Structure formats: C-alpha cells, structure tokens
Structure 1
Amino acid sequence: MHMSTSNNNLAQKKEIFSLEKIIITWFSITLIRVFLEIYSSPDPSGYLFSWIDTFIHIPLSFFSIFLSFTLLIYLLTKNAITDVLNFTTKLLLFTLVPPIADLMITGSKASSIGYTIATPDQFINLFFRLMSPFNNPGVTIGMHIAAYSILLTISIFTYKKTKKLLPPLLGIIAGYIILFLYATIPSYIIIPHLSKTILISASSLYSILLKQSWITVTTTANTSEQMLIANDIFLSCILWILVVVQILLLLFFANKKLWLALKNNLRMERILFWFLIATIGIITNKSIFGTINISNTVNVIYLLTFFILITLNIWLAVMINDEEDVSIDTISNPDRPLAKKEIPTIQWGSIKFILFVLIFFGTAIMNMTTAFFLILAQTAYYLYSARPLRLKQHFVFSSVLIGATAIFIAMAGFFLVSPDQHILAFPIKTIFIIGISFALISNFKDIKDFKGDKNENMRTIPVVFGLKKSKLIIAGLFAFSFILVPLSLHLYNLILFSVFCSFFAFYLFTKKHYQERYIFLLLFLHIFTLLISFI
C-alpha cells in the first residue's frame, strides 16, 4: 500500500512538470535580476537598460548558460531531463546573489553581464586569473560568490545521484570551463582576423568588426548608442544560436523517438527552397549596393542567425499546417507524426510553444525591417494553412499567398544586409518577378496530396482539373515561369538553359512515377543558375 502511494506521488510529480512553466520561471528570474542590477550597476543615464539588453540579451545569456549546466548535469548523472531541469531552475536563483552581495559587501558597480576580450595567447593566464575574486575588473566578488555556489551545488547534486567522486569533480571543472567560455565569447570572434591586424588590440579589433557589420549599418540609433546596441544584438545572436542548439540536444536526449519524428517531419527540400528565396533578396541587394562583406565574422554569425530563424519559422508553419491537415495526411501522407499518432497533443503543443519563444527572441534581434517581413511571411502562411480562412482550399488564393510569402522572405533577406532601410529600396520590378514566378510554380506541391485533397473537397488544380491534366497545366506554368524570369531580367544568355529546364519539367511531371524531389532539384538548379549570373 505504501509503495502504491509512493508511485502515485511520483506520477503526480511527473505530471506537474511543465516545460512552458520552466521557461516562464527562468524568464521571471532573469527580470528580477535585471531589477536588482538597476541598483547595483545603474545605467549612466539613470534610465532602465535598453529594451534589447533587458528583454533579449540578459535573458538569453542566463538561458544559454543554464541550458549548458543542464546538459552537463545530465551527461554526468544520466538523470531524467525533467528532474535536471527542475534542479537547474532552482540553481538559477543564485543569479540573484551578485547584485545583492556587491551592494552589501563593497557597493561596487559592475556591468550586468561581464565579457572579457583577449587573444589566444592570453587565454591560459586569463583562465586562472578569473578564478580569483580579487583584481578582476568587471568580475565582482558577488559574481564569484554566485559562480562558486553554483559549481558547489552542481557537485553535491551530482554526488547524490551517482554516489561517485569523479562526476562531482568533473562537474566543478567543466562548470568553470562553461562560465569561462561564456565570459570570453567576443574573443573567439576576432580570431579569424588577428593575423591581418597584428598591431590592433583585441578590444579595438572587436569594435571595428562591429562598426563594419550589417548590424551597425541597419540599426537606427544615434552614434553614442549604436555600438552598445550592436554589441547587445550581436552577442544575443550567438547566445540565441547556442540556446537553439542546446534545446535540440536536450530534446534528443529526453525523447529520441519524438526527436526523430519531428526531424523527419521537417522537410529539408522546403527549407532549402525558402533559403534560396532569401538568398535572392541578399543577391539583389549586392547587385544594387555592391559588396556585402561576408568576410566579417560578425556578419557570418548574423547571417547564420537569420537562416536558423527561417528554419524555425518553417518548422512552426509545418506544425500548424499538419494540425489542420490530419484528415488529408491520413490518406496522402500517412507517415506524418499526427497522422500516425506518434506525438501526443500535449507534447505537440509544448514543441509549438518552444518554437514560438525561440522565434520571438530570434526575430527581436533582427533589424526592424527584416523582423517585419519575417513576421509577415509567417502571417501569410498562417492564413494559408489555418482555419477559419484556410485559404489553401482554392488554388487561386493558395498561389497568391505563396507568391506573397516569397516576396516577404526575399525582402527580409534584402533588408538584412541593406545599408538603405527604406522600403522602396527593394525594386518594384523584383517584387513582381518574384511574386508572379513563385505563384505560378507553387501548385506542384498539391500533386502528391491529390487523394487527400479530393476527399476534403479542396479546390486545388489536381482536384479541379484531374490529376493527369493538372500535371500538364502545372508543367506549363513551370515552363512559363522558367522563361519569364530571364527575359524580365534581360539575361538572354540563360534563355536556352531555361528552355531546356522547361522541357525537362514536362518530362518530370508526366513520367509514370512522379517524384516531387526531382521537381525541387530542377527548381533549385534553375534558381541557383540565376543567382550565379548576378554574382
């Protein structure tokens, strides 16, 4: 009887765990830390810290560090991820110690997040010097108290779970390495540029990279604020990428079956499709304004952030679409997670919530124009997929929305790198070319869903005109689009290539065994060739 009660209590504890509540709790603790920092390290202006610092940079910093601790503890103890997350949530309370301790002990004022910039030859000395609570500008006694308390608590927890001495010792060493790596993030950014600028100090080189980056060029701020904002945005990019990667790792360790189901549902050819459309915008900007300075490490990180953000947006859009298409997928795509009932509704909702939070933070670190067009693209896709409108039900509305989404993604790519953030900087002619061409080719995705769409009375081209005739119609639309684009852009040397692609499209659409991936490959080849002609 006692065992039964104990098991019931354990089951209740597992049910109480909520990933959504963990995220909200972490964010709440970081905001309290920000409040305390207002008194221990106030902004010189007397106002609150900047919006990007308060709501994005500082939360992402703590999120990333404590996700690293979560992974470390899991690898050392092999405890359930849910238990480890509950523990690290309590561990996060130690972040409230530094501002309180510093005010009580020394009254010192240090930055809310301290970073150290050094060259590789200084790393070893810095690694040991940061251990000392004395003579470390920017790293206060309060920070050391919190850091050592966290490391000690990790070692105690690890020992309780493993009953061995080595894992706790490894926990302390690895935990300190994690803190050191985060404290020196800017140092790794300058490494590729060190040999070219031997006489410049590490901090000066970092400032130059920020000044020459797209972040600074596309940020609206006065000169005194611009570098601070650029620094917050750039570091937020790195931290955001780390958060995304670590959440994916935690998902993999926590539930490999769920991870595989979600990964397999993320259709790589569609991601590459939207990547190429975003690249169209970037190349268009290059053709107007010249170089886009891809050699700058800051720009590379910013570009990586942008493409990961697009991937997460696609992932969320696919999940929303799959919810609406369960009855269709049961017939046309029975391998989809919801159609197979692989993923419970609660887990599906939790994954969507996590994606939404990640997309929110990722969008917030883009410049305003890029963020606007990314949100607009997600909005258009929602109207396309979801009830009550679910405009994908008719091929005319479906085509228009996909054409519009292509325009929005291309414009997001354009304004990511553009020194001119005026909306009219994006050529009107390019808007029409992108919108019309991608609207025309968008209907090929409906061929594989023919049976399910017909059962749901969806008015797609295959359902309206029949499968055999629709393949000819869609192949004709492909051919028209393939030839229209080089003609509109005066790329007459590509006409013959486009004609060849058009004939090959007819072959792929009408052959006995239709395979969508070959249509994607042909489309990628055509887009890639057009892009190469502009570089």
Structure 2
Amino acid sequence: MKRIIKRLEGFIESIEGLNLNLIWWILGFLAIVFARNFLSTPSVSALMFFDHFLLFYVGLFFAITLLLHFLTGERIERVSKAVVTFWFIILLTPILDSLFFGGGRKLSYFLNAHEIPYTLLNFFNPFVQFEGVSPGLRIEVVIVVILAVFYTYIKSRSAVKSICGFVGSYLIIIFIGFLPAIFATVFSGVAPELAYDKVFRFGGIVQTGSQGLALLFTFVSSFLLCIWLFRYDRKKWKAAVSNLRPLRSIHYVGMTLLGILLGFWLFRDAYPVVFGTPIDFLACLGLLFSVFFAYQSAVAVNDIFDIESDKISNNSRPLVKKKLSSGDVKILAVIYMFIALLFAINVKYSCFSLVLVSIILSLVYSVPPLKLKRFFPVSTFIIALAALVTLLTGFSIFGGWKSVYIFPKSLTLLVLVIFTLAGTVKDLKDFEGDKRTGIKTLPVLLGRHRGKIVIALFVLLSYILIAPIIRMPILFIPAIVFGILSVFIILKKELSEKPIFVLYFAFVIILAFFIRKNIDTLRTSRVKHQIDAVGHFLSGETYFRRGKYGHAINEYKKAILYSYKDERIRLQ
C-alpha cells in the first residue's frame, strides 16, 4: 500500500507541476465531458449535449475541487490540474454499463427529495436498486470517493481529513444528483414526489425542462467559479470586484427589470400561464444576472482599449494601477461574456440573441478599428441603443421573437431620445483623457465649460420630453423638478455622478409606477392584438408540453383569431 501511495504521490506531483496553458486544461476537460455525453446519450438535443450536461459536470468539478482544496490546503490551481487529469473516470459509466451490464440504462436525477437519507444509506448496497442509477455509475462513484481519500491523505497525511474527503465527495455527488428535486420541493409548494414534474416538466417562461435544469446549474457553476477565483488570487479577485461600476450596473439591470415588468403588465391577460413554477422566477433572476455580466464584459473590453485615457481621467482603476494585467482583464471579459450568454440561452433563445446584440454593441463602441465612442453623437446613440436592447431583453422573456415587433413604439422612441441626450453626462469626468487621446466628445468639441452647459440643457430636455413622448401629462411637473435638480448638480464646479444617478433611479421608479397605472395608454388596438396573439400562442405551447392538449388547442385558436384581427387593422 505504501508503494502504491508513493507512486500515486509522484504521479500527482508531476501532473500538478505541468506548466501547460490554461486553454489546454479546459479543452481536455471539455473533451472528456463531451465524450461522456456522446457515449451516454448520443441522440439528445444540441442544447442538452453542449449546455445542460456540461454545466452539470462543471458544477461537480468545482465542488469536488474546492472540497479537496479546503481539506488539503494545496493551491487550488494544482488541485484543479489533478482533478482534470482523473476526470476521465466519468467515461467508465457508459463503458462498464455497455460491456458488463447490458447497457441501455437511462440515467437521471433523483426525483424525490424525501429519499435523500435512504439513498445515502443504500447507494453502495448492490441489492438496492435506484431508478436512473446504473451499476456502472455506482462503480464510478466508488472510484471517485476512493481517489478523494487517496488525494487527501497524500497531501495531508491525516486520517481524519481523508475520512472527510470520502464523506465530503460522496455527499457532493448525492447532493448534486438531488439538487433539482431539492429546489423543486423547497419552492414548488407541492408534495416531494410531485415537485420535480411540476417545476421541470410543466413548461412556462422557460419552455423546456433541459433549459430549466441548465439554468439551475448555471447559478451553481457561476457561484462555485466565483469562489474558485477568490481562492486562486484574492487580491486580483478584490480588484475585479472593485471595477464592477455599481451605478451603471444598476442602470442596465434596472432597464432589464423594467422590461420584465412591462412584459408582465402587457401580457398578463393574454398569457394565462405565467409564473406558474419557481423556474419562471429563477428565469427572471437569471436574465438580470445575464445583463449584469454582459455589462461587466463590456467594461473589461473598454478598459483594455481605453488604458491611455484612463491613466489621465480614471487612474484608480485596477488596470491602470496594475492590480490586474491586460491578460487578466481579457480573461475576465471572456468569463463575463460566457456567463452572460449561458444565463440568457437557458432563459429563452430570444433573450440570448438580444444579450449577444448588446455584447456586439459594446465591441463596436470600444474596439478598433471602429471604436465609435470616438465620435459624437454616434457614441451616445450607441449607449441609447444598448439601453433599448436591455429593455427589450427583459420584455422578450414574455414576447419572445416578436418582442421587437410588438414593443410599444413610444417607449422605443423615448429610450433612444433621452439616452442619446443624457448619455453625454458620462463624458464630463473623462474630459482630460478624451482630449489627449482624440476622443471627440461634446466637452472636447465645445470646451469644458460650454460643454457642461450644453450637457446640462440636454439632460433637462431629456426629462421634459418624457411626458409628451409617452403621452402622460402627469409626469411633466416631476420631470421638470428632476431635470432642474440634475442641471444644478452638473453645473457644480466639482461634478459627482452619484447624485445624478440617484435622481435618475428615483425618477425611473416614479415612471414605472405611472406606466403601471396607465398601461392602457401603451396599448394601441394593433399592439393589443399582437400581444394577445403572442401571449395565447406561448400559453398554447406551455399547455401542450404539460399534456393538456384541449387547453393548448383553445389557446392556439385564440392566437390565430388575434393574428387575423391584427392583419385586418394593418391593411386598413
């Protein structure tokens, strides 16, 4: 046994000492996971193959890696190398099942959370059968927990920690297998044996069970990745957090939330099946995270290409102070982008497309050769367009692919106009850096003093235009008040963006309140028929997935009826 441990120790040390590029470790991990997916379930949809199943294994990888890291005290990147090297073990399940146990066994999650104690006690008992668990999978789990014991002992030489390695890795595997059932039981409010079906098989905003499961594991994997990054380099992690730009993050996330609320207010009568399961609420939260990370990706990209300007105007930023290197920021940009797209695609494909558009806009804005932020008013128009896209992203959680077509035109005009005007505020604090690097902003073109006056008037005008554009006269007086207060803040000798954002956030809340009270003003007869058609069609899809075919047919008929009415109005 000592000889085996010695050889295993030498092998692990050689693996952990390998100086391969990160991309090769990632590609190796992905190759193993996709091979497992192909051997186990070759005929599933592309989304399940490349998304749902992948996220399951990513969550499992981070959980086991963090456990071994905390138990052994070994650096987390070294532990990760060892875990990736032995990750090929997941290939054993389909191979063993096919060669020795007849194959054909369908693997699945545990579906009843109340069976957790029984499963923990009997998982290794060969005389007890579990639905969705094959003999090959049991052997795989046995090997994984034994390897966890060996690794922990080799690194710590502690029997107690080795036992913790066994128990901890076993609990992680069982917990992840039960995670969907646990989530469903906690949040569905129905009996445990019915909870999984109600949450993941009944449809809703998230239209397929695989998307719902992938969304759940996106949250898990993102959270564990955050912990992994913190343990990898605490100083860089804190530097990255300090660069999150909370006020602008709230702006974009808030626009998405407003879009969700607008969709709910407009669709609530046409979309009978809405927020019927906890996954629908998780989808809304996931979409907010998606937009948050998409914006952080844009910030990282902008920092890379604005380094010279930031040395003058924003010299406290991590890249300027060399708390993060250019390579670090590029990696962060990619991580943020992938997390944003993963959240979005697991909510709705239309949301994915709009989040992707917002990322493309950020690249057009910041990256040469276009780098359109250099030209006024194109720069602020792109900011306005980004705000509109995030609003549509939230709205599309209900409107789907038809969102651009049925979104109220008055709100589209409002967002484009007021953010093109008010978006110039951001250029005041960057005046010196923009001037020296040739960025043609309004203050650079007119001079700091005159530019500040014109920008203050633009902000006032943006508030004044809100009431007439959306036809809500009641907003005129509060808009004037908020606009004048913003002007006084902008014209101060020392500009602070925080009070401007506070006023803006406060007014958006007021605006949302009055939109909710006067929601019918946004419904022209044609918009109403379009919304009714889309809403009833999506409800029909949900009923169809639930097996309620009579209800589905009725919803489809209503969708056709309202589409016919919309066409008649269009031709008049």
Q: Does TM-score exceed 0.5, indicating one fold?
A: yes
**Match status 1:282 vs 2:273:** no
CA distance in 1, matches of 2:474, 2:193: 47
Letter in 2 for 1:515: S
Q: How does 1:501-516 map to 2 (within 5 A)?
A: 501-516=482-497
CA distance in 2, matches of 1:364, 1:324: 28
1:265, 1:336 within 8 Å by CA — same for their partners in 2?
A: yes
**Secondary structure, counterpart of 1:339 in structure 2:** coil
Partner of 1:232: 210
User: Which residue pairs with 1:206 in the alignment?
Assistant: 199
1:111 corresponds in structure 2 to: 106
> Does 1:157 pair with 2:147?
no
- What displacement does 1:14 show? 5.8
* Cα offset, 1:188, TM superposition: 2.4
Alpha-carbon distance in structure 2 between the residues aligned to 1:255 and 1:31: 29
- The CA deviation at 1:313 is 1.1
Q: Cα distance 1:510–1:160, how it changes in 2: closer, same or farther (>3 A)?
A: same
Paired residue for 1:340, among 307, 318, 321?
321
Deviates more, 1:289-298 or 1:384-393: 289-298
Q: How many residues align?
A: 500
Instruction: Tell me the alpha carbon deviations over residues 206-231 of structure 1, each in whole angstroms, 9 at most, x when there is no partner.
Output: 35xx5352012xxxxxxxxxxxxx11
Amino acid at match of 1:343: L
| Alpha-carbon distance in 1 for matches of 2:179, 2:473 | 48
Aligned residues: percent identity?
Answer: 22
Q: Give CA-to-partner distance per residue, 1:132-168, whole Å, 9 cap, x none.
A: 3431111011111111111110110011101111111
8 Å CA contact retained: 1:309, 1:359: yes
Deviations 1:384-440 (CA, angstroms, capped at 9, x unpaired) = 111001110122110111111111111111112336746412222221111111111
Instruction: Look up the equivalent residue of 2:355 and give its one-letter code.
Output: L
Match of 2:118 in 1: 125
1:177 to 171, 174, 177: 171
Map 1:217-256 → 2, pairs under 5 A: 230-256=208-234
The equivalent of 1:81 in structure 2 is: 76
Residue matched to 2:431:
450
Moved more, 500-509 or 346-355: 346-355
Q: Secondary structure at the match of 2:320?
A: helix
Change (3 A) 1:162 1:288: same
For residues 489-531 of structure 1, what are the alpha-carbon distances to aligned partners after superposition, in whole Å with 9 as ceiling and x for unaligned? 2332222211110111011111232111111111111112111
Match of 1:259 among 237, 242, 258: 237
For the residues of structure 2 that align with 1:452 and 1:422, how far apart are their CA atoms? Answer: 39
Corresponding residue of 1:406: 387
| Separation in 2, partners of 1:260, 1:413 | 30
Shift of 1:21: 2.2
- Could you say which residue in structure 2 is the equivalent of 1:315? 296
Match of 2:545 in 1: none
Structure 1 window deviating more from structure 2 (374-383 vs 13-22): it is: 13-22
Q: Where does the alignment leave 5 or more consecutive residues of structure 2 unmatched?
A: 1-12, 517-572
**Cα distance change, pair 123–34 in 1 and its aligned pair in 2 (3 A):** closer
2:92 equivalent among 90, 97, 107: 97
What is the identity, as a one-letter code, of the residue corresponding to 1:118? Answer: N
- Cα RMSD of the aligned pairs, angstroms, is 2.3
Residue matched to 2:560: none
Q: Distance in 2 between matches of 1:15 and 1:265?
A: 32
1:324 has 2:305 as partner: yes
The one-letter code of the counterpart of 2:292 is T
1:31 aligns with 34
- Return the match for 2:343 from 355, 362, 381: 362
Structure 1: gaps (5+ residues): 1-9, 43-47, 217-229
CA contact (8 A) 1:482 1:526 kept: no
SS class of match (2:465)? helix
CA distance in 2, matches of 1:189, 1:161: 35
| Counterpart mapping for 1:374-389 below 5 A | 374-389=355-370
Per-residue deviation, 1:350: 3.0
Counterpart CA distance in 1 for 2:187 and 2:14 is 54
Displacement after TM superposition at 1:354 (Å) = 3.0
CA distance in 1, matches of 2:353, 2:401: 15
CA distance in 2, matches of 1:498, 1:344: 44
**TM-score normalised to structure 1 length:** 0.88
Per-residue deviation at 1:447? Answer: 0.9
1:167 match: 161
- Whether the 8 Å CA contact 1:20–1:353 is kept in 2: the answer is no
Are residues 86 and 336 of structure 1, via their aligned partners in 2, closer, same or farther at CA, if it must alter by over 3 Å?
same
Shift of 1:339: 1.2
C-alpha separation in 2, matches of 1:312 and 1:199: 34
User: Does 133-142 or 443-452 show the bigger shift?
Assistant: 133-142
Q: Distance in 1 between matches of 2:153 and 2:204?
A: 46
Instruction: Please state whether the residue corresponding to 2:369 is helix, strand or coil.
Output: coil
- Equivalent AA in structure 2 for residue 98 of structure 1: T
Change over 3 Å in CA distance of 1:497–1:388 after alignment to 2: same
Letter in 2 for 1:164: S
Q: Would the alpha carbon gap of residues 486 and 327 (structure 1) be closer, same or farther in structure 2, given more than 3 Å must change?
A: same
